[in-house]
Amino acid sequence: MDVDNPISVPYPGVCSLPEDAQTQYGESEPIVITGVGLIGSLGTDRETLWRRLQAGRSHIRHLTGLRGIPDGQLLGAAVDLPEEQPSRLKVFPLAERAADEALRDARMNWADIDRTRFGCSISNHMGDSTWVDEQLGLRGAADPRHTPWWEQFFPNTTCYHLARRYGLGGPRLSYSTACASSLISVLAAVRAIRDDQCDICLAGGADAIDPLFVAGFRKMKVLAWNADPGQACRPFDRNRSGFVLGEGAAIMVVERLSHALRRGARIYAEVKACRSLAEAHHVTGLDSESEALAYLISSTLRSARLRPCDVGYINAHGTGTLQNDLVEMRSIREAFGSALDRVCVSSTKSSLGHMINAAGGAELAVTLLAMRDGFAPPTLNLTDPDPELRFDCVPLVGRRNRFQHALKLSVAFGGHLVAVALSRWNDAQTGFQYPSETRRAA
């Protein structure tokens, strides 16, 4: 698509919810997810990444070429892109690939879509700091043929860029809520549809490893290290020491059910509930008593009209830091009680790294794929479980688990807590069938 010549969007005088949807569902119409695009260190397309994640693989490695960081002193789950351009923020091609894949997956026929009713809810990211580097003498003057810094400086630029790329005239939403940002973006998309601002929305986020973030996290001493990079991130393990930075993107197509059915889309899942709240404890610290997160989990299940025993899988935030894991373990235990015997919990950051602004969206996408195929991905490096870990964290090896309902959690700096409850779409005509046999790992 020609990004320099975006599609113009014709705005009618009045936009309203189609009559059939108003008549059939009213305000309670289900919101569903019909397309998933996913990019990460394990693969630059959704299915390659998912197969490798199922197989328990990790591409965490020593990083080089990051300005201000000595080569080999940082571990990361980086993405290698063939089309990467040094003058362009890496977050852009990551987001573009994920969005293109999500739209193909959703079987988007643009001739049948009212783009004035198509929103774009994409999380914030680090902006271009090239000009600052130049002023500090850290690099030479930029080549004038390169992308001007002011075209990619603002942290909401990816949202603007994708909306312009596809000619989307609905609401543009971009939140900065640390590593809950892309999960909040999905929540915002659902609410925009419920508020009748749009019928369909791109939702998610993208992020790349940035030297300023690295410097901050190193100062906080929250980054893990191990002579064997693949062993560094150890969520819920007694010997955990922090997280490993990752990069990637996850974009989903979220829409009202009637809109999806009318255009013949396949449906992954219904978004049963999505809720957020704040823990007003500390900018980076969490309340070890975990009351806020436990309350959020319970209230999200109530809003979804689910019991704890209905949930078959939880994708945890699971950073591998001492504090985060402790709070999540206690909160999940408090909210689920005896029902934990039936739940699989995993942290896929052990494979994909921590994608910061893109983390929640990427892990929600993984949850959708796990639900689609009936397979719980593993928590790598969980060889010596923390004594507080009293539930099944799918250690080391993933396994078949055909669950109907799932929960995704994000626990972010600044006290941003988010939970999304999903229900698998089982209709034979409009949903996905379980694979007949376990897919061969790539």
- So which residues are the catalytic ones? 179, 317, 354
Residue 83 neighbours by CB under 8 Å, 6+ apart: 93
In the sheet where 61-62 sits, what is the strand order? 61-62, 75-77, 245-246
Give the whole-angstrom CA distance, residue 98 versus residue 104: 10
Under 8 Å between Cβ of 362 and 38? yes
By C-alpha distance, which of 259, 269, 266, 267 is closest to 112? 259
- Give the count of beta carbons closer than 10 Å to the beta carbon of residue 81: 15
Give the whole-angstrom CA distance, residue 298 versus residue 290: 12
- Give the count of beta carbons closer than 10 Å to the beta carbon of residue 57: 17
The CA angle 308-204-424, to the nearest 5 degrees, is 35
Check residue 146 and give left, alpha or beta (phi > 0: left; psi -120 to 50: alpha): beta
Under 8 Å between Cβ of 200 and 116? no
Strand ranges, E, within 279-361? 311-315, 344-346
Give the whole-angstrom CA distance, residue 118 versus residue 104: 16
How far apart are the two ends of the chain, measured CA to CA in Å? 31
Distance of CA 413 to the CA centre of its chain: 16
Give the whole-angstrom CA distance, residue 50 versus residue 46: 6
Burial of 129 (0-12, 13-18, 19+ CB in 10 A): middle
Instruction: Give, as one character, the DSSP assignment of residue 391.
Output: S
Under 8 Å between Cβ of 388 and 237? no
